[in-house]
């Protein structure tokens, strides 16, 4: 299951995936870059995740994460 964590006002803080009953910030599972993952829209049977994030300049963009099976 995927989604996002929010503050008490409903502002999205981070995109998350649930593993073994715990929410894990997806930003901690990818190579660091200038894009912050904030919300996940969907995950498919192959583990590919789509969602939204923010660049350092405040621009919002969509993302696609593809699992590294290697």
Grade residue 7 by pLDDT with cuts at 50, 70 and 90.
Answer: confident
Mean pLDDT of the chain: 89
Whether the pLDDT of residue 3 is over 90: the answer is no
- Answer left, alpha or beta for residue 57, where phi above 0 means left and psi between -120 and 50 means alpha: alpha
CB neighbour list of residue 3: distance below 8 Å, 6 or more residues apart:
15, 16, 18, 23, 39, 40
Whether the pLDDT of residue 63 is over 80: the answer is yes
Instruction: Quote the pTM value.
Output: 0.81
If DSSP codes are grouped into helix, strand and coil, which group holds residue 26?
helix
Whether the pLDDT of residue 39 is over 80: the answer is yes
CA 39 – CA 25 distance, rounded (Å): 10
């Amino acid at each position: 299951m995927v989604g996002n964590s929010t503050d008490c006002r409903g502002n999205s803080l981070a995109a998350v995936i649930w593993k073994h009953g715990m929410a894990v910030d997806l930003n901690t599972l990818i190579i660091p870059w200038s894009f912050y993952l904030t919300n996940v829209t969907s995950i498919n049977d192959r583990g590919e995740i789509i969602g939204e994030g923010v660049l350092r300049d405040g621009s919002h963009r969509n993302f696609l994460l593809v699992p590294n099976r290697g």
